[in-house]
């Protein structure tokens, strides 16, 4: 083999090896290119995923929406109505006062139940001595504090002696006679029995003084600013006083109590029989026994009340009369002792009521 053939053979081998290396290099480049792009694509997806979590994507662009105009509520035009003309407050009619002329009593006052208006005023706020008109308050305290009108109470010698020694009027109960609270109240109001007052006081409370305190507390509650009591019965005491107006107001209050009204309205009453009074002790009302007429020509009717007499108080009377659905309360005081002026004045005054 010549030198040319040897060289040609070497050249071919070198070429073959070069081709092989070139193929290997190409394969290697392709492999590395594939790894690069694959890894890069994977990293990109991871980055995009983390980015989408960190950044709120912008909303997809849409055509702008024109907002609806805000609806303005239509103005409501109020219906024109005529403003009613307020009715004028009626001017109260002047109270038609009943004249106090020709009364025998030095003091007098009459009020109307519905409004308390004074319809007769003869020194109505002057101090007077109430005498046995005081028993209206004594009865009110008993009625408002007794457990029952059927409770039984014993009249003791002390009760009778207290009244007798004071020269007070008596109902006629005997020593140690046991009677009901109801019988004592009738004995107090109709014949003006002082022993009935004393017996009730010891039944209601522990002492007469405590009972008198209750009477004064009630007077204050009712606004009787010119009234003060020192005893149960109305025996004269300079510190036991009232006014005709206060006494009329007190009777108005008392007549609201059904039991008081029933007692004050009775001309006569007989107690439940006892051993001392087998046929029952009987009473007559000093009011109805002396009033004579109790229904007047104008239609007024006497409904009850309480009399009173002492030398200092003169003849007194607090009474109630009904007149066409209204009720009137009258107190007259200091009529002459030698007259029936307290009763006659009541007839004169109630007879002048008009509709």
Query: Is 339 domain-assigned?
Result: yes
CATH number at residue 117: 3.40.710.10
| Residue 54, in any domain of the structure | no
Please report whether residue 126 resides in a domain: yes
* Residue 155 pLDDT: 97
For residue 258, give its domain range: 107-350
Instruction: Tell me, yes or no, whether 31 lies in a domain.
Output: no
Is residue 67 domain-resident? no
- Token pair listed for 343: 């009763």
Q: If the chain, 355 residues long, is cut into consecutive pieces of 10 residues, what is the mean pLDDT of each piece?
A: 61 74 67 51 48 43 47 49 60 72 96 96 98 98 98 96 89 98 98 97 94 98 98 97 98 98 98 97 96 93 97 98 97 97 97 93
Give start and end residues of each alpha helix (H) in 176-308: 181-189, 194-204, 208-221, 244-254, 258-264, 286-291
Does the residue 223 lie in any domain?
A: yes
- pLDDT, residue 55, reads 42
The set of long-range contacts for 316-319, using a CB threshold of 8 Å and a minimum separation of 24, is 316/105, 316/128, 316/130, 316/131, 316/132, 316/133, 316/342, 317/133, 317/287, 317/342, 317/343, 317/345, 317/346, 318/133, 318/136, 318/247, 318/248, 318/250, 318/251, 319/251, 319/287, 319/346
User: Is residue 224 in some structural domain?
Assistant: yes
Number of compact structural domains in the chain: 1
pLDDT at 302: 97
163: in domain: yes
pTM: 0.74
């Amino acid at each position: 083999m010549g030198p040319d053939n040897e060289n040609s053979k070497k050249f071919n081998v070198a070429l073959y090896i070069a081709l092989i290396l070139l193929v290997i290099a190409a394969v290697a480049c392709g492999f590395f290119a594939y790894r690069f792009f694959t890894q890069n694509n994977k990293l990109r997806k991871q980055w995009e995923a983390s980015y989408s979590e960190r950044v709120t994507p912008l909303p997809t662009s849409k055509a702008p929406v024109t907002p609806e105009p805000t609806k303005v509520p239509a103005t409501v035009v109020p219906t024109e109505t005529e403003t009613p003309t307020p009715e004028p407050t009626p001017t109260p009619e002047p109270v038609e006062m009943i004249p106090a002329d020709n009364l025998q009593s030095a003091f007098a006052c009459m009020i109307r139940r519905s409004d308390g208006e004074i319809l007769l005023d003869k020194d109505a706020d002057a101090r007077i001595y109430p005498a046995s008109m005081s028993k209206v308050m004594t009865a009110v305290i008993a009625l408002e504090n007794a457990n029952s009108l059927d409770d039984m109470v014993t009249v003791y010698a002390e009760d009778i002696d207290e009244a007798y020694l004071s020269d007070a009027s008596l109902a006629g109960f005997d020593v140690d006679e046991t009677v009901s609270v109801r019988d004592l109240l009738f004995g107090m109001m109709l014949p003006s029995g002082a022993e009935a007052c004393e017996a009730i006081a010891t039944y209601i409370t522990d002492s007469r003084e405590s009972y008198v305190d209750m009477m004064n507390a009630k007077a204050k509650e009712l606004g009787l600013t010119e009234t003060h009591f020192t005893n149960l019965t109305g025996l004269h005491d300079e510190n036991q006083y009232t006014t005709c107006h206060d006494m009329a107001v007190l009777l108005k209050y008392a007549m609201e109590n059904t039991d008081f009204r029933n007692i004050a309205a009775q001309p006569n009453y007989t107690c439940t029989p006892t051993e001392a009074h087998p046929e029952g002790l009987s009473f007559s009302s000093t009011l109805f026994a002396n009033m004579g007429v109790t229904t007047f020509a104008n239609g007024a009717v006497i409904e009850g009340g309480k009399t009173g007499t002492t030398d200092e108080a003169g003849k007194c009377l607090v009474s109630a009369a009904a007149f066409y659905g209204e009720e009137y309360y009258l107190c007259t005081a200091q009529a002459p002792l030698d007259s029936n002026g307290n009763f006659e004045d009541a007839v004169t005054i109630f007879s002048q009521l008009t509709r």
